[in-house]
């Protein structure tokens, strides 16, 4: 008996293991193995990016028709959205105008009649038939004596209304020759094929958060019995999405440092102490916290990868200087790269005297550096006599080879490509990596994009910053902005005027080519058409760019004051000279493109006028206005816009309400469609199908914390309990060149 019992148990275990293996293999197998997927349907699915069974199952419903919440036609409230069901009494295809097709459906139930109008959907006349039972979801209107719906969501219901009473109908993304009903059938078949799928989430996490198993969650999100069941399924799968993404980012980050010996930096040495004494100001509490977090990471015996996210004017550079000093105290060197010569020179100018006081040798290297000076810099780097080197893309050249680089700092890291960042890090194998960004990225979004890095935030400006007032002006009130600017000029201050376009507009094809070419240049440009009122000699010419705008302002608006120009297409020497003249007060009004967006520091500039402000993103506008109000006098920013788009107006109004860049970023994200928040280019972030980083901030934070705890305890995921997790990471990310191998 005992032998038979054990034999039976072994057979059952083998059968279970075989079943799970089959499910795992099927899950990542070709979608053609799903029952009902013909060659034609496989072609349609492929056009959606669905090539595997996993891809098909991951096309989650974007909404549900809850038949338990449906109402009758008689009880449907005018002006409100609802779900109703009935049978088609009559259906007609009409063409009231050329190229305007509409389908009129007369729907009835036991209580009344509903007229349904579907614009530009002529195929419905062939797909639907009199007597079909359908469910509709939309807003009830009333006209000409009947309740009506216009372009509602419509689903053909199989069976009688009594048969679907209380049923929840999932609405899957569909298109082409595949209807939502067909997608629903295919997903059901796919789920059956993968029955018994292993769960990648460790059991302790599932128990801790009371999460469904993966198999149950997939079944319930596609075919829930109740809406609460769908909610719990989504919660489980959303957590899994973020958890896997964070683990992949962390593992990838660690992999970059493999094969090199990390350096545990000294963080209390003479250079760090001298720098603290040399600062002409006291660090804010946030700055001190960020400094200590960075130094703590540098002191660890592992390679640090840290991001400092600071709102405009919060003093990121001052914090980064302590990292440079720590590298010096550890007997090593540091490289700090900025995206433009103007910004790199500004870093060197502002930090140079402080580094001198701390006994740290430094230099600046750009494309404009004279040959003999460049040779001296190369020699100092190679023999170790030069400790800190500021620069632009020039730092990436092969002949720039430090003797012992233990720290790489990249300012505005999002302006550099992945290969450029990697090239700089390779200058110091095993070095610590610190990136700075003034782009306000909410924490949850930063975790989704950069979860492999540790993060510090600066959100408050030092008290010696006067701040800015922002106002939105329609085009007809442009003169008010000029009055504000003239008052500032009369008081001895300076003015920025921001134009989004350089030169005359080209044809559409030329403009497209120009945009693509500009993406690879040193600065990023925002191209847009600028329309201003006809003025004198500019009659009949309503398209102007920086040069034309400067001439117009010099001759018509700011007579008696000096007007200069700065844009990204100018040679580096001209750009630097233009900024130096403005910083020295030799130029009163600087007409510029978005080249001034980052890092330009002229405390005497107190007014900024932004043309066609609705054509800029909120983050870009916020960074632009950070160029004024940096001294003792408050800044004033005038956003000129002629738009009537309600969303654009809402975004501009937000600029008037707050100066907090992170609040603006969250607001901006809240206006976007969920799929636009992450994008497909960022570190596998496109794998997040269910997560909205604003709505699901608690899930993101929790998954990030759990992933970091797990990876610190089991860096290689070698523990037996993590075998399924390791396999899932490999299958999810390795095909795209990422993740566990």
Percentage of residues in the chain with pLDDT exceeding 70?
85
**Mean pLDDT value across residues 151-166:** 76
What is the predicted pLDDT for the residue at 674? Answer: 45
What is the predicted pLDDT for the residue at 26? Answer: 82
Tell me the C-alpha distance between 246 and 129, whole Å.
Answer: 50
Residues 602 and 637 in one domain: yes
pLDDT band at 313 (very low <50, low <70, confident <90, very high): confident
Q: Which of 133-137, 205-209, 480-484 has the lowest mean pLDDT?
A: 133-137
Q: Residue 185 maps to which CATH number?
A: 1.10.150
Establish if 83 belongs to a structural domain: yes
**Mean pLDDT value across residues 574-590:** 88
Tell me the C-alpha distance between 409 and 421, whole Å.
Answer: 10
pLDDT at 670 over 80: no
pLDDT band at 277 (very low <50, low <70, confident <90, very high): very high
pLDDT band at 511 (very low <50, low <70, confident <90, very high): very low
What are 722-734's pLDDT values in tens digits?
A: 999 998 998 888 6
**Mean pLDDT value across residues 47-59:** 93
Tell me the C-alpha distance between 336 and 324, whole Å.
Answer: 9
What is the predicted pLDDT for the residue at 738? Answer: 41
Strands 563-566 and 405-411: unpaired
What is the predicted pLDDT for the residue at 371? Answer: 93
Strands 81-97 and 100-109: antiparallel
Q: Could you tell me if 460 and 622 are in contact, meaning their C-beta atoms sit under 8 angstroms apart?
A: no
What are 287-308's pLDDT values in tens digits?
A: 999 999 999 999 998 899 999 9
pLDDT band at 466 (very low <50, low <70, confident <90, very high): low
Residues 437 and 558 in one domain: no
pLDDT at 534 over 90: no
Residues 498 and 624 in one domain: yes
Q: Could you tell me if 344 and 327 are in contact, meaning their C-beta atoms sit under 8 angstroms apart?
A: no
| Whole-number average pLDDT of the chain | 83
What is the predicted pLDDT for the residue at 443? Answer: 84
Tell me the C-alpha distance between 631 and 464, whole Å.
Answer: 7
Specify the higher pLDDT residue, 313 or 321: 321
Establish if 223 belongs to a structural domain: no
pLDDT at 378 over 90: yes
Establish if 217 belongs to a structural domain: no
Residues 345 and 490 in one domain: no
Q: Could you tell me if 101 and 208 are in contact, meaning their C-beta atoms sit under 8 angstroms apart?
A: no
What are 544-574's pLDDT values in tens digits?
A: 467 788 888 898 899 989 999 887 777 778 8
Q: Which helix (H) or strand (E) holds 21?
A: helix 2-27
Residues 145 and 277 in one domain: no
Domain stops at, among 114, 144, 165 = 165
Domain stops at, among 146, 165, 184 = 165
Q: Two tokens at 164?
A: 């679907």
**Structure pTM?**
0.74
Q: Two tokens at 105?
A: 């459906």
pLDDT band at 314 (very low <50, low <70, confident <90, very high): confident
- Between the CA atoms of 531, 535, 538 and 542, what dihedral angle is there, to the nearest 10 degrees? 20
Establish if 474 belongs to a structural domain: yes
What is the predicted pLDDT for the residue at 597? Answer: 56
Q: Residue 120 maps to which CATH number?
A: 2.40.50.140
Specify the higher pLDDT residue, 600 or 204: 204
Percentage of residues in the chain with pLDDT exceeding 90?
50
Tell me the C-alpha distance between 66 and 166, whole Å.
Answer: 7
Establish if 730 belongs to a structural domain: no
Domain stops at, among 402, 437, 458 = 458
What is the predicted pLDDT for the residue at 521? Answer: 30
Domain total in the chain: 4
Query: Which of 174, 149, 173, 9 is closest to 83 using CA atoms?
Result: 149
Establish if 234 belongs to a structural domain: no
What are 391-446's pLDDT values in tens digits?
A: 999 999 999 999 999 999 999 887 888 899 889 999 998 899 999 988 778 888 88
What is the predicted pLDDT for the residue at 733? Answer: 81
What is the predicted pLDDT for the residue at 69? Answer: 80
What is the predicted pLDDT for the residue at 682? Answer: 44
pLDDT at 493 over 80: yes
pLDDT band at 576 (very low <50, low <70, confident <90, very high): confident
Which residues, 6 or more positions from 274, have their beta carbon under 8 angstroms from its beta carbon?
A: 325, 357, 358, 359
pLDDT band at 508 (very low <50, low <70, confident <90, very high): very low
What are 172-203's pLDDT values in tens digits?
A: 998 878 888 899 999 999 999 988 888 999 99
Q: Exposure string (b/e) for 82-99, b if CB count within 10 Å is 16 or more?
A: bbbbbbbeebeeeeeeee
pLDDT at 601 over 90: no
Establish if 2 belongs to a structural domain: yes
| Helix/strand/coil (H/E/C) assignment for every residue in 202-242 | CHHHHHHHCCCCHHHHHHHHHCCCCHHHHHHHHHHHHHHHH
Tell me the C-alpha distance between 240 and 247, whole Å.
Answer: 10
- Between the CA atoms of 656, 662, 667 and 668, what dihedral angle is there, to the nearest 10 degrees? 100
**Mean pLDDT value across residues 211-222:** 96
Specify the higher pLDDT residue, 102 or 21: 102
Question: Locate tokens 């540091």: which residue?
Answer: 334
Residues 342 and 399 in one domain: yes
Which residues, 6 or more positions from 557, have their beta carbon under 8 angstroms from its beta carbon?
A: 482, 485, 486
Residues 545 and 597 in one domain: yes
Residues 593 and 553 in one domain: yes
Q: Residue 381 maps to which CATH number?
A: 3.40.50.300
What are 675-724's pLDDT values in tens digits?
A: 444 444 344 445 678 888 878 889 999 999 999 999 999 998 999 999 99
What are 513-529's pLDDT values in tens digits?
A: 333 333 333 222 222 22
pLDDT band at 16 (very low <50, low <70, confident <90, very high): very low
Specify the higher pLDDT residue, 55 or 679: 55
Q: Could you tell me if 154 and 181 are in contact, meaning their C-beta atoms sit under 8 angstroms apart?
A: no
**Mean pLDDT value across residues 479-487:** 94
pLDDT band at 452 (very low <50, low <70, confident <90, very high): confident
Specify the higher pLDDT residue, 490 or 506: 490
Residue 500: HSE in the Cβ half-sphere, 13 Å Cα cutoff: 21
| Helix/strand/coil (H/E/C) assignment for every residue in 122-150 | CCHHHHCCCCCEEEEEEECEEECCEEEEE
Establish if 51 belongs to a structural domain: yes
What is the predicted pLDDT for the residue at 312? Answer: 76
Tell me the C-alpha distance between 356 and 392, whole Å.
Answer: 21
What are 348-358's pLDDT values in tens digits?
A: 988 999 999 99
- Render 621-679 in DSSP notation, one character per residue: HHHHHTTSS-SSSPEEEEEEE----HHHHHHHHHHHH---HHHHHHHHHHTS-GGGTT-
E strands present in 276-357: 305-310, 333-337
What is the predicted pLDDT for the residue at 19? Answer: 56
What is the predicted pLDDT for the residue at 526? Answer: 25
- Domain enclosing residue 305, as ranges: 270-458
Question: In 3-state terms, the chain is what percent helix, strand and coil (to 5)?
Answer: 45, 20, 35
Q: Could you tell me if 316 and 413 are in contact, meaning their C-beta atoms sit under 8 angstroms apart?
A: no
pLDDT at 365 over 80: yes
Q: Two tokens at 217?
A: 């969650």
What is the predicted pLDDT for the residue at 7? Answer: 62
Specify the higher pLDDT residue, 152 or 534: 152
Query: Which of 311, 315, 626 is closest to 467 using CA atoms?
Result: 626
Q: Two tokens at 73?
A: 């036609």
Tell me the C-alpha distance between 492 and 578, whole Å.
Answer: 19
Residues 181 and 305 in one domain: no
Strands 589-592 and 153-156: unpaired
Residues 292 and 427 in one domain: yes
Specify the higher pLDDT residue, 314 or 707: 707
Q: Give me the phi and psi of 141, to 5 degrees please.
A: -120, 170
Class of residue 135 by CB neighbours under 10 A (exposed 0-12, middle 13-18, buried 19+) = buried
Residues 49 and 73 in one domain: no
Residues 148 and 297 in one domain: no
């Amino acid at each position: 008996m005992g032998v038979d019992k054990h034999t039976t148990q072994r057979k059952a275990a083998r059968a279970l293991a075989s079943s799970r293996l089959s499910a795992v293999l099927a899950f990542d197998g070709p979608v053609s193995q799903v029952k009902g997927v013909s060659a034609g349907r496989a072609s349609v699915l492929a056009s959606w990016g669905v090539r595997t069974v996993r891809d098909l199952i991951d096309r989650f419903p974007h909404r549900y028709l809850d038949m338990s919440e449906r109402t009758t036609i008689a009880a449907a409230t005018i002006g409100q959205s609802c779900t109703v069901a009935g049978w088609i009494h009559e259906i007609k295809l009409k063409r009231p105008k050329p190229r305007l097709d509409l389908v009129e459906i007369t729907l009835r139930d036991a209580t009344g009649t509903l007229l349904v109008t579907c614009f530009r959907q002529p195929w419905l006349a062939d797909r639907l038939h009199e007597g079909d039972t359908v469910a509709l979801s939309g807003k009830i209107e009333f006209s000409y004596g009947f309740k009506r719906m216009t372009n509602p969501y419509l689903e053909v219901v199989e069976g009688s209304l009594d048969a679907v009473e209380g049923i929840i109908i999932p609405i899957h993304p569909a298109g082409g020759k595949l209807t939502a009903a067909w997608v629903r059938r295919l997903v059901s078949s796919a789920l059956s094929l993968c029955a018994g799928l292993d769960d990648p989430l460790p059991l302790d996490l599932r128990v801790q958060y009371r999460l469904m198993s993966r198999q149950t969650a997939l079944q319930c999100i596609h075919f829930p019995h109740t809406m609460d069941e769908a909610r719990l399924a989504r919660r489980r799968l959303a957590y899994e999405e973020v958890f896997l993404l964070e683990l992949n980012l962390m593992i990838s980050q660690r992999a970059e440092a493999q094969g090199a010996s990390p350096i545990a930096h000294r963080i209390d040495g003479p250079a760090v102490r001298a720098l603290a004494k040399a600062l002409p100001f006291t660090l804010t509490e946030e700055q001190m916290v960020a400094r200590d977090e960075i130094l703590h990471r540098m002191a660890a015996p592992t390679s640090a990868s840290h991001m400092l996210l600071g709102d405009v004017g919060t003093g990121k550079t001052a914090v980064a200087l302590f990292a440079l000093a720590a590298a010096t105290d550890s007997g090593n060197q540091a490289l700090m790269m900025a995206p433009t010569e103007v910004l790199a020179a500004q870093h060197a100018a502002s930090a140079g005297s402080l580094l001198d006081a701390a006994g740290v040798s430094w230099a600046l290297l750009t494309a404009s550096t004279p040959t003999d000076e460049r040779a001296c810099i190369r020699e100092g780097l190679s023999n170790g006599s030069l400790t800190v080197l500021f620069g632009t893309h020039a730092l990436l050249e092969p002949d720039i080879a430090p003797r012992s680089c233990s720290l790489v700092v990249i300012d505005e890291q999002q302006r550099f490509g992945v290969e450029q960042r990697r090239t700089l890090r390779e200058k110091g194998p095993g070095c610590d990596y610190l990136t700075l960004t003034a782009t306000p990225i909410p924490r949850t979004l930063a975790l989704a994009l950069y979860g492999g890095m540790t993060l510090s935030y600066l959100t408050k400006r030092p008290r010696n910053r006067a701040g800015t007032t922002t106002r939105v002006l329609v085009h007809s009130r442009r003169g008010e902005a000029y009055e504000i600017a003239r008052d500032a000029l009369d008081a001895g201050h300076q003015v920025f005027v921001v134009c989004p376009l350089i030169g005359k507009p080209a044809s559409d094809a030329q403009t497209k080519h120009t945009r693509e070419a500009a993406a690879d240049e040193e600065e990023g440009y925002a191209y847009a058409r600028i329309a201003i009122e006809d003025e004198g000699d500019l009659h009949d010419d309503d398209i102007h760019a920086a040069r034309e705008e400067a001439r117009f302002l010099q001759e018509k608006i700011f007579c008696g004051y000096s007007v200069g120009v700065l844009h990204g297409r100018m040679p580096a020497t001209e750009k630097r000279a233009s900024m130096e003249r403005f910083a020295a007060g030799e130029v009163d009004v600087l007409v510029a493109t978005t080249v001034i967006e980052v890092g330009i520091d002229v405390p005497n500039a107190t007014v900024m006028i932004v043309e066609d402000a609705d054509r800029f993103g909120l983050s870009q506008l916020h960074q632009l206005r950070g160029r004024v109000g940096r001294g003792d006098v408050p800044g004033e920013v005038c956003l000129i816009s002629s738009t009537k788009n309600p969303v654009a107006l809402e975004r501009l109004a937000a600029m008037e309400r707050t100066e907090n860049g992170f609040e603006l970023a969250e607001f901006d994200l809240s206006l976007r469609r969920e799929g636009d928040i992450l994008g497909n280019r960022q570190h596998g972030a496109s794998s997040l199908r269910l997560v909205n980083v604003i709505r699901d901030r608690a899930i993101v934070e929790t998954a990030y914390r759990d992933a970091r705890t797990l990876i610190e305890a089991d860096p290689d995921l070698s523990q037996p309990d993590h075998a399924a997790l390791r396999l899932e990471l490999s299958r999810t990310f390795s095909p795209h060149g990422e993740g566990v191998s």
